Amino acid sequence: MTDSLPVALYNATQVRELDARLIAAGTSGFELMQRAAHAAWRALRRRWPDAGAVTVLAGRGNNAGDGYLLAALAQRAGWQVRVLAVGDPQTLQGDAALACAEARDCGVPIEPWRAEAPLQGVLVDALLGTGLTGAVREPYASAIAAINASGRPVLAIDLPSGLCANTGQVLGQTVRADLSVTFIGLKLGLFTAGGPDRVGALVFDDLQADPGTVAQVASEAVRLDHGSLARVAPRSPTAHKGSFGQVLVIGGDLGTGGAALLSAEAALRCGAGMVTLATRPEHVSASLVRRPEVMCNGVESTYSLTALLERADVLVVGPGLGQAPWGRSLISAAAQREQPQVWDADALNLLATGAVELPSGCLITPHPGEAARLLKCSVGEVQADRPAAARALAQRYGCVALLKGAGTLVAAPDGRLALCDRGHPAMASAGLGDVLAGVLGALLAQQLAPFEAACLGAWLHAAAGERLGPLGRGLAASDLIPVIRQLFEEQSPCLK
C-alpha cells in the first residue's frame, strides 16, 4: 500500500521559505507561478477532459496569479473561459499583476465578481492562499458560499480557500473542492481537522524544485507511509513466546467487558508472545469461549492484580475500565509500575480528573473529547489546532500522545510530530480504539520505542480500515484484527 506523495509536511511559513529559497537559487517567482498554472491545468484536464468551460474566481495575491495563468492556458486551448475577479485586478502587484496582464493579452474576459454572476464549467478556486489566518471576510465569504452551492465541479489551487494551511481549521467559510492541486511542499492542514473533508482528491507537484534546496527547510511533521515506518525485526528459528513480551490488558468493568477483550485479541494477533487479561470475574467465561489463547483472570481488587503486574512486560490500561471504585483501584496500582504502558479510554478520563498520575514513558491515545479534558479546554479548541494540541499533550504529560481523529497525529515530548492520513469513514464505529490500544501494546512488547510504536500502530490500524472500507457501513472493530495482522506481515515479515 503506497502512494506518490512526499512524507514531509510544512506549515505556511515554511512553504514561503521554500519559495524564497527557490527564487534565490535562480528560479524566478513568475516562472514558479507559470509552472503551478501548468500543473493545475494538467490536473484539470485529466479529471474533466470534456468540460470545455472554466470559470476562475480570483483573489488578489499569488494564488490569484496562478488562476489568471490557468485561464490563459484554457483560453489558448479553445475552452470557454471567464475570470470573476473577487479581488480588484487593479490592486494586483508583482507576479500576480503580470499573470493578470497575460490573461488579458490572451483575450480572457475578466469581470468583477457579483453574487448573481452565473458559474459555468469547472470552477477554479484561486481566491485565498496559504497566508490566511483569520476568518474569511466579504466578499470572499459570499464567493465561497456561491461556489459550494453551485453544484459545479471545483478545482482548488494550492488549497481550498478558507482552510488554514497549518491546522486544517475551517476559517469561517471554506471551499469544498473535488480536486486540489498543491505545490512545492505539502501543507499539514490538508490532512487533518477539516482538511480531508474539503480537499477532495489531492495532486502534488514539486514545480521542478531542486531537492537539495527543499531539504534546507525543516518540515513541521512527517506523513506516515509504508516506507517511513519502523520495522519489527524478523524472528529467528529459535524464537519462543517469551521473546516477544507479555502484555497485560486491564479493563472491562461490568457492561464493557468486550472493550478489554478486543484489546487483548488485537495484542495477540499483532505478535505479542503472551497476552493476559485482567477483568471482572463475570467476564471470564465469555472471554475464554471467545479467545482461549488469552489468559483471562477475574480480579476483584488490587491484591489479585499484583501478581499479574509483576509478570507483565507491557500494560494496556483503560479499555472498558470505567470510573467506578473498581477501575480506580486498578489504575492506581498500574500507575505505580515502571513497565511501558498504553493508556486509553477511561484511564485518560481518570487522568484528566487528577485522580491518578501518568508514569513516565507512557503512550496515550485520546480522541478529541478526551484530549480536551486532559488539556482543560474545549473540543473546539483542540480541533482548531490539532498539531498544537497533540504537542501540548506530549509536553504536559511527558509521554507520546496519539491524537485520534481525521488526520491522526503522533507527538513526542521532544517535538517530533507525525501524521497518519489513512483510514475510511466506515471506521466510525465503537471499539476501534480498543483494537488500536491492543496493537500498540503488542508493538511495545516487541521492543519498539513508544513514538515508533505509535506511528506504526496508527498506520496499521488506519490502513486496515481503508482496506475494509469499500465494503461499506457496518464495519465492526473485530473485523480489523485479521487485516491488521496481514498488513503487519506485509510491512514486517516474520521470516527473512
Q: For residue 39, how many C-alpha atoms fall within 13 Å in the half-sphere facing its CB?
A: 23
405: annotated binding-site residue?
Answer: yes
53: annotated binding-site residue?
Answer: no
166: annotated binding-site residue?
Answer: no
pLDDT over 80 (residue 2)? no
pLDDT over 80 (residue 303)? yes
189: annotated binding-site residue?
Answer: no
pLDDT digits (tens, 9 = 90+) for 192-203: 999 999 999 999
What gap in Å lies between CA 379 and CA 477, rounded to an integer? 24
User: What average pLDDT does the segment 158-176 reach?
Assistant: 97
For the chain, the helix, strand and coil percentages under 3-state DSSP, each to the nearest 5: 45, 15, 40
63: annotated binding-site residue?
Answer: yes
Query: In order of start, what are the domains of the chain with their CATH numbers?
Result: 8-223 (3.40.50.10260), 241-491 (3.40.1190.20)
> What pLDDT is attached to residue 18?
97
134: annotated binding-site residue?
Answer: yes
Contact 477, 262 (CB under 8 A): yes
143: annotated binding-site residue?
Answer: no
407: annotated binding-site residue?
Answer: yes
> Could you tell me how far CA 372 lies from the centroid of its own chain?
18
User: What average pLDDT does the segment 142-171 reach?
Assistant: 98
What gap in Å lies between CA 19 and CA 32, rounded to an integer? 9
Measured CA to CA in angstroms, residue 22 lies from 70, 138, 186, 207 at distances of 22, 33, 16, 10
pTM: 0.96
496: annotated binding-site residue?
Answer: no
Contact 69, 34 (CB under 8 A): yes
The strand ranges marked E within 32-178 are 53-58, 80-85, 110-112, 122-126, 154-157
172: annotated binding-site residue?
Answer: no
283: annotated binding-site residue?
Answer: no
Confidence band of 133 (pLDDT split at 50, 70, 90): confident
130: annotated binding-site residue?
Answer: yes
For 242-261, letters b (16+ CB in 10 Å) and e give eebbbbbbbbbbeebbbbbb
Confidence band of 1 (pLDDT split at 50, 70, 90): very low
What gap in Å lies between CA 51 and CA 43, rounded to an integer? 13
Residue type, 157: I
11: annotated binding-site residue?
Answer: no
pLDDT digits (tens, 9 = 90+) for 267-302: 999 999 999 999 999 999 999 999 999 999 999 999
38: annotated binding-site residue?
Answer: no
Percent of the chain with pLDDT over 70: 99
158: annotated binding-site residue?
Answer: yes
259: annotated binding-site residue?
Answer: yes
Write out the H or E segment, with its range, that includes residue 289.
helix 284-290
What gap in Å lies between CA 266 and CA 272, rounded to an integer? 9
Contacts (Cβ under 8 Å, ≥6 apart) of 4: 204
pLDDT digits (tens, 9 = 90+) for 415-447: 999 999 999 999 999 999 999 999 999 999 999
107: annotated binding-site residue?
Answer: no
> What pLDDT is attached to residue 4?
83
Contacts (Cβ under 8 Å, ≥6 apart) of 209: 18, 22, 27, 184
320: annotated binding-site residue?
Answer: yes
133: annotated binding-site residue?
Answer: yes
404: annotated binding-site residue?
Answer: yes
> What pLDDT is attached to residue 227?
87
pLDDT digits (tens, 9 = 90+) for 233-259: 999 999 999 999 999 999 999 999 999
